[in-house]
Amino acid sequence: MLDFKNRSFAEFFMDVVGKDIYSDDYNNNGNSKAHRLRTFWQVEPDHIVGTLLVALIERKTQHPIDENMMCEYSQIANRLLRTVSQVESLKQIDGIRDSTHLSEIIRRIETTLHTDPSAAIGGAKELVEAVCKTILDEQDMPSAQNTDFTKLTKDTFKVLELVKEEVTDANAGADQYRQMLSNLGSICKNLAEIRNNYGTGHGRSANHVGLDSRHARLVVGAASTLVVFLYDTHLEQQ
Percentage of the chain with pLDDT > 90?
Answer: 19
126 pLDDT exceeds 90? Answer: yes
74-118 confidence digits (pLDDT tens): 888 877 776 666 677 787 787 887 888 998 998 888 878 777 889
156-178 confidence digits (pLDDT tens): 998 998 766 555 666 666 778 77
- Residue 123's pLDDT band (cuts 50, 70, 90): very high
**pLDDT mean across residues, the chain:** 83
- pLDDT at residue 44 in the model: 85
- Comparison of pLDDT for 14 and 71, the residue scoring more: 14
DSSP secondary structure of the chain = -TT--HHHHHHHHHHHH---TTSGGG-SS-SSHHHHHHHHHHHS-HHHHHHHHHHHHHHHTTS---HHHHHHHHHHHHHHHHHHHHHHHHHTSHHHHT-HHHHHHHHHHHHHTTT-HHHHHHHHHHHHHHHHHHHHHHTT-PPPTT--HHHHHHHHHHHHT-S-TT--TTSTTHHHHHHHHHHHHHHHHHHHHHHHHHSTTS---TT-----HHHHHHHHHHHHHHHHHHHHHHHHH-
